[in-house]
Amino acid sequence: MVNHCNLTCDHCCSYSPLLSPSEVDPDELTQDLHALKGLLKPQLLKIVGGEPTLHSNLFKILSSAKAVQIAPQLSLTTNGCFLDRITDECLMLLDHITISVYSLEPRQKSIFKSFIKRAKKFTVILNWKIQDTFSQMDRGELSTRADAESIFQSCWIHDRCHSVRRGVFYCCTRTQYLKDLYGETPFTDDGVRIRDTRQEKLLQKIHKYLNRTEPLNSCRLCYGGQAPLRPHRLLSKKEQTLKKAQVKELCRCIT
């Protein structure tokens, strides 16, 4: 729901340390979910970022997502730094919250204990994810098309991490952020436009897209679901600038 994050984690799946602040309009989210309702039947709808608690109207995002009823369960994924922004009104809308844990300092433990009590009051299931490693999905150079095809075929992400944002449905979360970083080209065909299309035709397009065997162009910048693990660390400002330039250059080289 937002590009930005208060952390600058190396190998961030959504490229947040490299992107300018941006957020999705709740009405736009409603429009996108309505376009997909009846075509897809997800068991869980996840609200993610960036860091979604930084959205200027988190309650409106959650209430909009809940109202469409595209999935029986609504989940939020957060780094746990701003749990106070998840109000009781927000908790009433949620079924699950996944919290990444980067440290367990005394103050953080106290915050977590307090939030556990609040979540229990609203029967929200908390999933705790110890985030001491990150998958090194980013490549330092473009893969060959053959390598990208192999990565795509073995990657679990395109089967499990479908997403929708600003009128486009994606089988992988990463393409949308590369578009924000570099531009629409060369990633136009890495997603399916879902607005202003009859449902029958849109269903055919999505079915064909989800059953494709050729890799996405964004796969050429990625090690996929089998990426090696690296210790968690934060990027410095200088490292952010250098990495942003590197990724943009790789995008430019895709043909």
Q: Is 201 helix (H, G, I), strand (E, B) or coil?
A: helix
Beta strands in 38-141 (DSSP E): 44-47, 73-78, 96-101, 125-130, 133-135
User: How large is the C-alpha radius of gyration of the chain?
Assistant: 18
Out of 11-20, 79-88, 195-204, 215-224, pick the least confident. 195-204
Buried-state track 61-81, b at ≥16 Cβ within 10 A, e below 16: bbbbbbebebbeebbbbbbbb
**Segment 38-57 mean pLDDT:** 96
Task: Give the torsion sign (CA, 87, 88, 89, 95).
Answer: positive
pLDDT given for residue 35 in this prediction: 96
Q: Does residue 221 fall inside a structural domain?
A: yes
What's the rounded Cα separation, in Å, for the pair 138 and 177? 13
For residue 102, what pLDDT is reported? 87
Q: Residue 199 falls within a domain, yes or no?
A: yes
Residue 196 is predicted with a pLDDT of: 78
113 within domain boundaries: yes
Q: How many domains does the chain have?
A: 1
Q: What is the pLDDT of residue 26?
A: 98
Residue 39: inside a domain: yes
Least confident span in 1-5, 126-130, 195-199:
195-199
Q: Is residue 197 in a domain?
A: yes
Q: Residues of the chain with pLDDT > 70: what percent?
A: 100
Whole-Å CA distances, 20 to 23, 138, 164, 182: 10, 19, 19, 12
Assess if residue 1 is contained within a domain. no
Which CATH number characterizes residue 86's domain? Answer: 3.20.20
Q: What is the per-residue pLDDT for 199?
A: 87
Q: What is residue 198's predicted lDDT score, i.e. its pLDDT?
A: 87
Confirm if 71 and 42 have CB atoms less than 8 A apart: yes
Q: Which amino acid is at 113?
A: K
Among candidate residues 40, 32, 63, the one with its CA nearest the CA of residue 193: 32
Do the domain assignments include residue 102? Answer: yes
In this structure, the chain runs to a length of 255
Q: What is the pLDDT of residues 147-198, one digit of tens each?
A: 999 999 999 999 899 999 999 999 999 999 999 999 998 999 999 999 877 8
- CA 238 – CA 253 distance, rounded (Å): 23
Nearest to 46 by CA among 200, 184, 160, 207: 160
Its domain, for residue 193, covers: 16-253
Q: What is the pLDDT of residue 211?
A: 95
Q: Does residue 227 lie within any of the structural domains?
A: yes
